[in-house]
């Protein structure tokens, strides 16, 4: 078997890989950031109803 679904599938879906703001590249080295503004995300589960704890995580 030379290929699998991961290699040939769509990897541009919103739930695949790291989700970044405006699909910007991920910077893993914080010392290499050359920016005036940074946007930090907060996990939010949109698959639940409006209940505290389940939606906003721990």
In total, how many domains does the chain have? 1
Whole-number average pLDDT of the chain: 68
| Full-model pTM | 0.35
* pLDDT reported for residue 22: 74
* pLDDT reported for residue 42: 66
* Residue at 2 is within a domain: no
Structural domain that includes position 19: 8-58
* pLDDT reported for residue 3: 60
Please say if the pLDDT value at position 29 is more than 70: yes
Contact of 5 with 13, CB cutoff 8 Å:
no
51's tokens: 């209940």
The DSSP-derived string for the chain is ----HHHHS---STTSS---GGGPPP---GGG---S---------TTS-S-TTTTT--
């Amino acid at each position: 078997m030379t290929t699998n679904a991961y290699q040939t599938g769509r990897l541009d879906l919103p739930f695949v890989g790291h989700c970044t703001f405006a699909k910007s590249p991920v910077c893993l080295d914080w010392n290499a950031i050359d920016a005036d503004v940074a946007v930090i995300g907060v996990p939010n589960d949109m698959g639940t109803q409006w209940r505290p704890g389940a939606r906003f995580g721990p």
